[in-house]
């Protein structure tokens, strides 16, 4: 142990040696695999150890314990910062897992993955995502408390806990963290505590070349409680004053009306001789000399690798005993709450089990056939209105487009501190309507945090074109299979007069390319209703619900197959009068043109099958027998009809199929004009069908 270490009261020499064990394990692990990020794991070892062994309420024998604090390593590249604490604390990792860092089949991949390693709450790869999603964790905790125990005094509910974050300079440079942190200040999330590792180093060197603002002042302006702990002593010396850091965290826990931002000034890689403070230790192994120098500096044998003394491990794994005492105390309050709140306890049991409520299946409206119809965004709003009373766990809002996205449940208060609100939206700290502001990327990350927190079902809306602003968060949600719902409206050139800047053209193709993300584009109001039903029943992975601005016909389901078939992703909506010669496949508002084209083809004596394909992903999940029954390989003449890039459809079209698609940007005009001018008409579909038939018969 170096002589520049000040431990909190009650820490022993074993604690100090455990911190140094973290340092040498981090160095050895990166050295063995040959790549990684050792510097931050070395210098942040005291802070991470403080959180895991002394501050956070959690149980290594039960990593999903309902009463636990949450930890988010937003600086996910420094995965060893978390992995070694999980090992020392006994959460399921062993020394061999540290030795197998970043290798095939290991429990310790390059970045922590919640679906892969016990004790990891969230996958944080791209910088900024972790701190942004942590805002969702904190919001979810408050909403859950409001559903289950709203009247308890602060700090007395079994549903009170904190979310702790370790963030890096890189996290705070990414714009998404600014979006989310601003909203966190507005929301007054006193249950969120962020430790910023302010070491002024990134991959390209000192952050002074790109990152010069007063970050602490920025967070103060956001409305955060801001604190500073300077281990550099103003640049004059280095003292790892862990006691001071603990004192600030304990004070932060008392601040109930603001999230807390603790600026922790460190030197990256401390105390590695010659290398501490250099960007050379940020993203590369230290080299044999650097590793040996570190071990000598902290009194370890440079000839040993992965040294973990038995007394150190026994000490750190006594965390389970301390956790058991905390858990037993929590359990008393929890059982008292259950006895006094039987109705809420039943709700909690259902939410924990991810069971759907009584009356769920009956809540979804059925829409009468209507040639004029309604926009699917409006149909979605009606569905949410019906679900409001049935599913208290369902909540959400919009990135400042609620009136256009139809995401507001009528009569439900806004999730805001009571003193904040407007003439249109009244605030209630336990409210249901979310206002993300014009922050699409933060919205995506926050939805993931809410969902990962465990009990509620979030959704968030914006225009489909603006989904590009949230793609980073959507991709991570897809990787994690997080069941968040994105209500993406204004789905095509059919949105009309706003013009090509707002009209998605390539977006359906681009988002269908993301693994684990389900894209669902209903063709009428009844498919929209069923889309909500199915996505809530599936509860598996994120769903992009693609909805129209303009009205579209509501199909007569006595003539066409029932919309409940949407669950299979694609289905025969109307069969041909005889063995089909051509198959017409449509989605969304363009399905109506395929339906009219089918009638024209049938009138001309050409048997045509109409297929609705709202979700390619759900169709792909079906067995081969079903898929063949919908799209028989014997029928080579096929037409797809969708107002977007045709790229996703070529595998269904084969050699002879034809796509009625949009391979260019739109224009500013009304929807009817644009569809006509761009060839989305029954006549164009008929022409494409005849061309495909001719090719197939040639």
The set of catalytic residues is: 440
> How many CB atoms are located within 10 Å of the residue 284 CB?
17
In 491-539, alpha helices (H): 507-512, 525-538
Taking alpha carbons only, the member of 526, 484, 489 closest to residue 394 is: 484
Residues 6+ away with beta carbon under 8 Å from 54: 8, 11, 246
> How many CB atoms are located within 10 Å of the residue 23 CB?
28
To 10 degrees, the CA torsion angle through 281, 285, 286, 289?
Answer: -170
To 10 degrees, the CA torsion angle through 281, 284, 288, 290?
Answer: 0
In angstroms, the Cα distances linking 14 to 7, 17, 51, 302, 320 are 11, 5, 16, 20, 17
Pull the structure tokens for residue 581: 């010669």
Partner residues linked to 107 by β-bridges: none
Taking alpha carbons only, the member of 131, 166, 213 closest to residue 52 is: 166
DSSP character string of 187-240: HT-TTEEEEEEE--EETTEEGGGT--S-HHHHHHHHT-EEEEEETTGGGT---E
Residue 195 sits at the vertex; the CA angle it makes with 232 and 325, to the nearest 5 degrees, is: 115
Pull the structure tokens for residue 37: 């990020």
- Report how far residue 248's alpha carbon sits from residue 226's, in angstroms, rounded to the nearest whole number: 10
Q: Is 243 helix (H, G, I), strand (E, B) or coil?
A: helix
Burial class of 586 by CB neighbour count within 10 A (0 to 12, 13 to 18, 19+): buried
- Report how far residue 406's alpha carbon sits from residue 466's, in angstroms, rounded to the nearest whole number: 16
Residue pair 661/643 in contact by the 8 Å Cβ criterion: yes
3-state secondary structure 106-174: CCCCCCCCCCCCCCCCCCCCCCCHHHHHHHHHHHHHHHHHHHHCCCCCCCCCCCCCCEEEEEEHHHHHC
3-state secondary structure 14-64: HHHHHHHHHHHHHHHHHHHHCCCCHHHHHHCHHHHHHHHHHHCCCCCCCCC
């Amino acid at each position: 142990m170096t002589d520049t270490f000040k431990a909190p009261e009650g820490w022993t020499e074993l604690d100090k040696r455990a911190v140094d064990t973290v340092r040498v394990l981090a160095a050895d692990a990166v050295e063995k695999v040959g790549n990684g990020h050792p510097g931050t794991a070395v210098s942040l070892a005291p802070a991470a150890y403080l959180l895991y062994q002394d501050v956070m309420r959690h149980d290594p024998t039960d990593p999903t314990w309902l009463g636990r604090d949450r930890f988010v390593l937003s600086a996910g590249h420094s995965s060893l910062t978390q992995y070694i604490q999980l090992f020392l604390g006994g959460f399921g990792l062993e020394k061999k897992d540290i030795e197998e860092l970043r290798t095939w089949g290991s429990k310790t991949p390059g970045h922590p993955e919640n679906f892969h390693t016990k004790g990891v709450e969230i996958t944080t790869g791209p910088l900024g995502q972790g701190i942004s999603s942590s805002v969702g964790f904190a919001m979810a905790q408050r909403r859950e408390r409001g559903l289950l125990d709203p009247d308890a005094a602060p700090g007395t509910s079994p549903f009170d806990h904190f979310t702790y974050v370790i963030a890096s300079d890189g996290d705070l440079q990414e714009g998404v963290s600014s979006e989310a942190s601003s909203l966190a200040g507005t929301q007054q999330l006193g249950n969120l505590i962020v430790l910023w590792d302010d070491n002024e180093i990134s991959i390209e060197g000192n952050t002074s070349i790109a990152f010069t603002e007063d970050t602490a002042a920025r967070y103060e302006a956001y409305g955060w409680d801001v604190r500073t702990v300077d281990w550099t002593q103003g640049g004059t010396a280095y003292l790892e004053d862990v006691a001071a850091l603990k004192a600030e965290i304990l004070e932060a826990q008392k601040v109930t009306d603001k999230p807390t931002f603790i600026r922790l000034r460190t030197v990256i890689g401390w105390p590695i001789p010659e290398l501490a403070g250099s960007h050379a230790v940020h993203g590369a192994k230290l080299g044999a000399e650097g590793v040996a120098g570190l071990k000598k500096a902290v009194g370890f044998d440079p000839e040993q690798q992965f040294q973990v003394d038995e007394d150190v491990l026994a000490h750190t794994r006594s965390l389970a005993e301390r956790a058991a005492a905390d858990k037993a105390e929590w359990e008393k309050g929890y059982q008292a709450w259950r006895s006094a709140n039987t109705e809420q306890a039943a709700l909690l049991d259902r939410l924990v089990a991810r069971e759907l409520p009584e009356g769920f299946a009956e809540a979804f409206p059925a829409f009468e056939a209507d040639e004029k119809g309604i926009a699917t965004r409006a149909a979605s709003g009606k569905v949410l209105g019906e679900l409001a009373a049935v599913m208290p766990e369902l909540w959400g809002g919009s990135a400042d487009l609620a009136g256009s996205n139809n995401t507001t449940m009528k009569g439900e208060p806004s999730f805001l501190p009571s003193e904040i609100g407007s003439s249109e939206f009244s605030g209630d700290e336990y409210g249901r309507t979310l206002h993300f502001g014009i922050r699409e990327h933060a919205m995506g990350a926050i939805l993931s945090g809410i969902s990962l927190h465990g009990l509620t079902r979030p959704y968030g809306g914006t225009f489909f074109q603006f989904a590009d602003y949230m793609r980073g968060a959507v991709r991570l949600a897809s990787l994690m299979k997080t069941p968040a719902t994105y209500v993406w409206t204004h789905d095509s050139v059919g949105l009309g007069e706003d013009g090509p800047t707002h009209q998605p053209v390539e977006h359906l193709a681009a988002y269908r390319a993301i693994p684990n993300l389900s894209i669902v584009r209903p063709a009428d109001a009844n498919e929209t209703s069923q889309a909500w039903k199915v996505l809530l029943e599936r509860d598996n992975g994120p769903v992009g619900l693609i909805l129209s601005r303009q009205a579209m016909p509501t199909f007569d389901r006595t003539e066409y197959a029932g919309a409940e078939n949407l669950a299979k992703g694609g289905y025969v909506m109307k069969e041909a009068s005889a063995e089909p010669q051509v198959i017409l496949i449509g989605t969304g508002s363009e399905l109506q043109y395929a339906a009219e084209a089918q009638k024209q083809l049938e009138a001309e004596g050409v048997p045509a099958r109409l297929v609705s394909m709202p979700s390619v992903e759900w169709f792909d999940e079906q067995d081969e027998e079903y898929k063949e029954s919908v799209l028989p390989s014997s029928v080579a003449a096929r037409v797809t009809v969708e107002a977007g890039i045709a790229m996703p459809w070529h595998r269904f079209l084969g050699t002879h199929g034809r796509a009625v698609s949009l391979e260019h940007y739109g224009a500013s005009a009304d929807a009817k004009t644009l569809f006509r001018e761009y060839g989305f008409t029954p006549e164009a579909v008929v022409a494409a069908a005849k061309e495909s038939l001719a090719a197939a018969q040639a």
